[in-house]
Structure 1
Amino acid sequence: MEAVTNAIQTRKSRRRNIITLSVLGALIVLVFLISMNTGVIRLSPVEVVTTLFGGGTDKQNLVLFDFRLPRIVISLLIGAGLAVSGCVMQGISRNALADPGILGINAGAGLMVMLFISFFPNTTAAPIYLLPVLALIGAGLTAALICVLAYKKNQGFKPTGLLLTGIAVAAGISAAMIVLTLRLSPEKYQFVAVWLAGSIWGSSWKFVLALLPWILVLLPFVMYKAQVMNVLNLGESMATGLGASVTREQLKLLAAAVGLAASCVAVSGGIGFVGLIAPHLGRRLVGAKHQMLLPVTAMIGALLVITADTLSRSILQPSEIPTGIVVAVIGAPYFLYLLSRTRA
């Protein structure tokens, strides 16, 4: 009887997961189509379809293929990357409030990118492909500093200590970035200010090609480690008893999470809260098993960022709101809600 009940529950869970993935996929496609129609220059749905199949005018081809589609694709990649990065950090730290932005990883990546932009021109092709590498260096150094400060001998990483250390390091890096802005020219200062607010400034196919390899390599790696993350969630003692090399696996997953966050920040600026919101919504929809949680989290993150970017381009036309501000309007109240529940 118990076996039959378990089989029924498994079947229901599988059906629910399929429905969840289908609904999220349909919503992403819907927002994708709406986003292609959104902008200062209006394109009707018929014109979009005609242009996609090669029947558009030169102006329509320019608007759709050179301006809108690269930005839409980057929004999807950034959303998936930041969301999965947050999910990994929450998993290995066992802290519901862990997020690349809150822990200072985004700030570290941003500081390195800002240093490069401050001292070198960003108009040539080489810096575009170099930015993710520089961001990875900054994020990696920040993560290493946080780990060194938060690690306790014979105790490992305590979730609360890791979070508080990350917040402190992020505050210090943010202060350093403010000081650096004092030496910028007015043009670069305006660019950096918009970038820090979370503007998707890399909106050409070159930036897509710069970001895509990182996503294609690191996302499958994290998915492959889903079972390991399930074991790590049981706690260090239990995971060690099951044969897992806890510290080594934590460092591998942390490196992947840092790589995802850094490469996304390099082309998106300081977009926060995606890595916090998406994993929580994913757990509510499909539970805590990472085999389903990771892909659902990636889809939620992609949907969140592409929706925020579409709204940022349409609310105050012809002006544009940084995408990070729209995400923050959604994420800040949710963060306070999670913080209040954690304290309780």
Structure 2
Amino acid sequence: MKTDIRLKRNYTKTITSKFLLLAICFVAAVLISLNSGLIRLTPVEVIQTLLGIESGPSSIVLVDIRLPRITVAILVGMGFAVTGAIMQGVSQNGLADPGILGINAGAGLAVVVYIAYFYGKIQFAPVYMLPIAAFVGAAAAALLVFTLAYKDGKLLPVRLLLVGIAAGAGISAGMLFLTYRMNAYNYDFVKIWLSGSIWGTNWKYVLAVLVWIVVLLPVAVYKSHRINLLFMGEEIAQGVGVSVQRERIVLMAIAVGLAGSCVAVAGSIGFVGLIAPHLAIQILGRDYKVMLPASAMIGAILVLLSDTIGRVIAQPVEIPVGIVTAGIGAPYFLYLLTRR
């Protein structure tokens, strides 16, 4: 009994120390991003602006441009990372990712349709309609991919991966076709957005994605025990009384909502949902109760640092964050494929 208590205390201390390390890395990433860009701000200017002491150009740069962008990057990183973790658990496929499985492409197609035919024509809150449109597209893509991945009543991980890649390619082709029917302004916007760019650099877009993240992330963490059981296999989950199909539908709805809202404000940023869960597993293990929050933190750090690199590496030109994450994620994806 005493040994069990001691082991539990040691485990708790280990988990706490690792989360503390992630928190330090997160704060460092935020500070680096705050002080990066064409206009350099000293740490003193940043602190004074945040406290309301400093005003003028530094306040405009920090409060109206950088802080919204940093906040969107954090929220998007958390959303994509948790989406990937859920999909990997539900499908029992460590290569599952909303970008690889075509979910991001479905959300992107819906957003492109909305921008091409409805954006600016809907008077009521057009910005906040973007996540809703993206959710519809992501849900349709997820339904298509998961339906085709079933065989003999079972979800086959390899079949899921192949169907997702094929569906994503087809949907992306549809997006490209629609872009040629746009006017020049919308075409330039969509071209940048499709490459995975944090373009929503004002507080309206922060609010548009924040509502979805605040609602769905706690629900995902609450469902973490169910994800653990589903990852062990349908037989084990059913043996302890879990309704496998219902839980899969609920969890996939959460994943689709997170992915869709993130795509709406940041485009299709790939590989975050693949890399972050794997890093979280290596650091904290596969228990989704701790792995999901860790994945969210790692995803936020990854997107934030990638966006910072994209802003400073080729100044004054900005490289979309999706290109930076692809440069990191593509080799990692190939590495995981060789291991399988």
Shorter-chain TM-score above 0.5: yes
Find the counterpart in structure 2 of residue 147 from structure 1: 146
Query: Which of 76-85 and 48-57 deviates more?
Result: 48-57
Q: Distance in 2 between matches of 1:29 and 1:296?
A: 14
Find the counterpart in structure 2 of residue 267 from structure 1: 265
* Aligned partners of 1:146 and 1:166 also within 8 Å: yes
Find the counterpart in structure 1 of residue 80 from structure 2: 82
Find the counterpart in structure 2 of residue 218 from structure 1: 216
Find the counterpart in structure 2 of residue 130 from structure 1: 129
Q: Distance in 2 between matches of 1:80 and 1:122?
A: 29
Q: Is 2:302 the counterpart of 1:304?
A: yes
Paired residue total: 339
Query: Which of 58-67 and 77-86 deviates more?
Result: 58-67
Q: Is 2:26 the counterpart of 1:33?
A: no
SS at 1:183's partner residue?
coil
TM-score normalized by the length of structure 2: 0.96
Q: Distance in 2 between matches of 1:212 and 1:163?
A: 30
1:219-238 alignment to 2 at 5 Å?
219-238=217-236
* Aligned partners of 1:113 and 1:131 also within 8 Å: yes
Find the counterpart in structure 2 of residue 43 from structure 1: 41
Find the counterpart in structure 1 of residue 323 from structure 2: 325
Partner letter of residue 171 of structure 2? I
How far 1:185 moved relative to its partner?
2.5
Find the counterpart in structure 1 of residue 338 from structure 2: 340
How far 1:8 moved relative to its partner?
4.2
* Aligned partners of 1:122 and 1:128 also within 8 Å: no
Find the counterpart in structure 1 of residue 51 from structure 2: 53
In structure 2, stretches of 5+ residues that fail to align are none
Q: Distance in 2 between matches of 1:321 and 1:96?
A: 29
Partner letter of residue 308 of structure 1? S
Q: Distance in 2 between matches of 1:119 and 1:128?
A: 14
Query: Which of 82-91 and 233-242 deviates more?
Result: 233-242
Query: Which of 55-64 and 281-290 deviates more?
Result: 55-64
Q: Distance in 1 between matches of 2:291 and 2:73?
A: 20
How far 1:330 moved relative to its partner?
0.8
Partner letter of residue 131 of structure 1? L
Q: Distance in 2 between matches of 1:167 and 1:8?
A: 47
Q: Distance in 2 between matches of 1:241 and 1:50?
A: 58
Q: Distance in 2 between matches of 1:73 and 1:30?
A: 14
Partner letter of residue 182 of structure 2? L
Q: Distance in 2 between matches of 1:63 and 1:7?
A: 52
* Aligned partners of 1:271 and 1:324 also within 8 Å: yes
Partner letter of residue 282 of structure 1? A
1:271-310 alignment to 2 at 5 Å?
271-310=269-308
1:7-26 alignment to 2 at 5 Å?
7-26=5-24
Query: Which of 232-241 and 177-186 deviates more?
Result: 177-186
Q: Distance in 2 between matches of 1:317 and 1:204?
A: 21
* Aligned partners of 1:222 and 1:256 also within 8 Å: yes
Structure 1 pair 125–199 and aligned structure 2 pair: CA distance change class (3 A):
farther
How far 1:235 moved relative to its partner?
0.6
How far 1:187 moved relative to its partner?
2.6
Q: Output one character per residue of 1:252-291: Cα deviation in whole Å (capped at 9) or x when no partner.
A: 0011001000000000001000000000000001111111
Q: Output one character per residue of 1:203-234: Cα deviation in whole Å (capped at 9) or x when no partner.
A: 11000111111001100000000111111122
In structure 1, stretches of 5+ residues that fail to align are none
Of residues 152, 156, 159, the one that matches 2:157 is: 159
Q: Output one character per residue of 1:182-208: Cα deviation in whole Å (capped at 9) or x when no partner.
A: 222233222111111100111110001
Q: Distance in 2 between matches of 1:312 and 1:117?
A: 25
Q: Distance in 1 between matches of 2:249 and 2:156?
A: 15
TM-score normalized by the length of structure 1: 0.95
Partner letter of residue 85 of structure 1? T
Q: Distance in 1 between matches of 2:118 and 2:132?
A: 15
